[in-house]
Chain A
Amino acid sequence: MIISSPKDRQKLEHLLQNYRSVFLVGCGSCATVCKVGGEEEVFATQEWLEEGGRDVTGSMILDEACHIMRAARELRRFRDQVEEADVLLVLSCGAGAQSISDCTDKPVLTGVDPLFLGNVRRFGQYEEKCSLCGDCILNETGGICPVTTCAKGLLNGPCGGMEDGHCEVDHEQECAWVRIYHRLENQTQGVFSHIVEPKDWSRKFKPGKHLLDRKSFAEPHK
Chain B
Amino acid sequence: MSFFSDKLQAGRFVITAEIAPPKGTDVEAALATAEQLRIVDAINVTDNQGACMRMSPLALSRLLVEQGYEPILQVTCRDRNRMALQSDLLGASALGIENLLLLTGDHPRFGDHTASRPVFDLDSVQLLKGVIGLQNGIDMAGNRLASAPRFFTGAAAAPAAEPRQLVIRKIEKKINCGANFFQTQAVFHRPQVESFMETVGNYKVPVLLGVLLLKNTRMAQFLNAQIPGVQVPLNLLKRLEGVDDPLQEGVQIAREMVSWARELCQGVHLMTFGREDLIPQILAE
Contacts and interface: CB of A to CB of B under 8 A. Distances in A.
Note whether A and B form a binding pair.
yes
Contacts of A192: 169
Contacts of A198: 82, 121-122, 126, 130, 140
Contacts of A178: 163, 166
B37 interface: no
Contacts of A162: 158, 161-162, 166-167, 229
A165 B163 CA distance: 6
A151, A168, A198, most chain B CB atoms within 10 A: A198
Interface in A146-175: 151-165, 168-169
B106 interface: yes
Contacts of A153: 120
Contact of B176 (A158, A165, A177, A195): A195
B107 A163 contact: no
A197 interface: yes
Nearest to B162: A164
Given A178-B166, A201-B121, A156 B161 contact: no
Contact of B157 (A160, A161, A163, A164): A160
A171 to B, nearest CB: 10
A23 interface: no
B228 interface: yes
B246 to A, nearest CB: 25
Contact of B169 (A157, A168, A197): A157
Chain A, interface residues (CB within 8 Å), range: 20 to 34
B129 interface: yes
A61 B82 CA distance: 45
A21 to B, nearest CB: 35
Interface residues of B, number: 39
B126 A197 contact: yes
Interface in B107-127: 107, 109-110, 118, 120-126
Contacts of A151: 107, 109, 118
Contacts of B158: 160-162
A177 B170 CA distance: 11
B165 interface: yes
Contacts of B156: 160
Given A181-B163, A201-B121, A157 B170 contact: yes
Contact of B229 (A156, A157, A163, A177): A163
A154 B161 contact: no
Nearest to B161: A162
Contacts of A168: 106-107, 110, 228-229
Contact of A161 (B123, B124, B165, B228): B228
A152 B229 contact: no
Interface in B130-181: 130, 140, 156-158, 161-163, 165-167, 169-170, 173, 176-177
B126 A152 contact: no
A169 B110 CA distance: 8
A156 B126 contact: yes
Contacts of A201: 121
Interface of B: 77-78, 82, 103-107, 109-110, 118, 120-126, 129-130, 140, 156-158, 161-163, 165-167, 169-170, 173, 176-177, 185, 228-229, 231
15 contacts: A151-B107, A152-B120, A152-B123, A154-B104, A156-B173, A157-B173, A158-B167, A158-B170, A160-B156, A160-B185, A164-B162, A178-B166, A195-B129, A195-B176, A196-B125
Q: Which 9 A-B pairs have the closest CB atoms?
A: A161-B228, A168-B228, A157-B170, A160-B158, A156-B125, A154-B123, A152-B120, A159-B104, A198-B126
